Amino acid sequence: MTEIIDGKSIAEDVVAKVKEQAAALAGAGVRPGLAVVIVGEDPASQVYVASKSRRAKECGFHSVQHSLPADTGEGELVALIKELNADPAIHGILVQLPLPNHIDAGRIIQTIAPQKDVDGFHFINVGKLGTGEVETAFVPCTPAGAMLMLERVRGKDLSGLNAVVIGRSNIVGKPMANLLLAANATVTIAHSRTKDLPAVARGADILVAAVGRPQMVKGDWVKPGATVIDVGINRIAAPEKGEGKTRLVGDVAYEEAKAVAGAITPVPGGVGPMTIAMLMANTLVSAFRAAGREPPVF
Ligand code: NAD
């Protein structure tokens, strides 16, 4: 029987631990603080930001949301981040991407203090992850969540296992590959220029899809018994649900892949819920570090 890796339930476990540890820290007079910054009206970003702020409140955090108009200047945004960098009540700063075109997202990310960069996108955190300093880095939330899911099936040590990550983005593919490497897997990063992708994928004991192409990974790309982690979130038309209706699918053709895999994450209900849970975990860890205490390990 193929194991379905339930992201909702693992995310709830993470959040339960965050709440418990946040309460313990409150006893020492420290309340984790998360500031979420959004620029413009992008509807998907509005939904993400609202759920991040809601989760933070639910965890007992000090939760602040800055919603800025689409025509906000880069200088104004930099000034806000510098203020948040200096605010001792804030332990995590998240700037929702994408930013409007007139703002240099790279510059904005590098303005966030590395010790408050709970998204893990600052060069300092990227460098720490790349050099194996995972203990003191902030690891980007989506790959960190994907690793926790993988751990449920394969444990922490992936020695001897071949991992293939499809996608080389800075947000998912590259940090995921680094985490797999840190866990001793033999790692291949495949991408849009890879030759014979199905053959490469078939070599994977652990197959991670982070492409952004609906149901691209077919059942016959999956090695029998492999663990399949589907990071993709794609909205496609679902005329079977009624005119104009849509549904979410991953980058993996789920039913086909499930028939071959040993374990697989569904979409929705897989990696998606883990991302926000790991953001809470990173913010909590940041508050522990700021208080000079040993942070919990997730
Ligand atoms: P991206 O567009 O930045 O990167 C996509 C990568 O896929 C690129 O490196 C590209 O080389 C590769 N690629 C594109 N076409 C390909 C092809 N035909 N064959 C092989 N490789 C190909 O995307 P991203 O930000 O890394 O996101 C990837 C997916 O993960 C998207 O569906 C996104 O919605 C989803 N995502 C989910 C979460 C979550 O919370 N679960 C978070 C971030 C991203």
The domain spans of the chain are: 32-113, 139-273
187 vs 264: CA distance, rounded Å: 19
DSSP symbol at 243: T
213 contact partners, CB below 8 Å, separation of at least 6: 232, 234, 251
Copy the structure tokens of residue 239. Answer: 């005329």
d(CA 169, CA 137): 18
Spacing of C-alpha 57 from chain mean position:
19
Which stretches within the chain are classed as H helix? 7-27, 43-58, 74-86, 105-111, 123-130, 141-154, 173-182, 197-202, 254-258, 271-290
Q: Which two tokens stand for residue 218?
A: 């077919």
Record the tokens describing residue 133, joined without a space.
């300093």
38 lines ligand 1 (CB under 6 A): no
pLDDT at 63: 96
Query: What's phi and psi for 36, nearest 5 deg?
Result: -110, 130
- Answer yes or no: is the C-beta of 174 below 6 A from any ligand 1 atom: no
CA distance 55 to 280: 8
- Residue 262's Cβ-side half-sphere holds a number of Cα atoms within 13 Å equal to 13
Domain 32-113 classified CATH 2.120.10.70? no
Q: How far is CA 78 from the centre of its chain?
A: 24
pLDDT of residue 271: 97
DSSP H helical ranges for 6-140: 7-27, 43-58, 74-86, 105-111, 123-130
Dist CA 271 CA 142 (whole Å): 7
Q: What is the pLDDT of residue 135?
A: 86
Q: How far is the CA of 288 from the centre of ligand 1 (A)?
A: 32
Distance (Å, whole) CA 189 – CA 204: 11
Residue of 141, 147, 192 to mutate, ligand 1, most atoms within 8 A of C-beta: 192
CB count in 10 Å sphere of residue 24? 13
What SS3 class is residue 255?
A: helix
Q: Are strands 234-237 and 246-249 parallel, antiparallel or unpaired?
A: antiparallel
Distances (CA, A) of 199 to 168, 194, 217: 18, 10, 11
Domains 32-113 and 139-273 agree in fold: yes
The residues pairing with 189 across neighbouring beta strands, listed in sequence order, are 165
251 catalytically annotated:
no
Tally Cβ neighbours within 10 Å of residue 1.
Answer: 5
The architecture (CATH level 2) of 139-273 comes to 3-Layer(aba) Sandwich (3.40)
Q: Are 33 and 64 in contact (CB under 8 A)?
A: yes
Q: Is the CB of 191 under 6 A from ligand 1?
A: yes
Compute how many other C-beta atoms are within 10 angstroms of the C-beta atom of residue 195.
7
Q: Can you state the angle between helices 173-182 and 123-130, rounded to 10 degrees?
A: 40
The pTM score is 0.97
Catalytic residue (one of 21, 96, 174, 251):
96
Is 46 assigned a catalytic role?
Answer: no
Residues of the chain with pLDDT under 70: none
On average, the pLDDT of the chain sits at 97
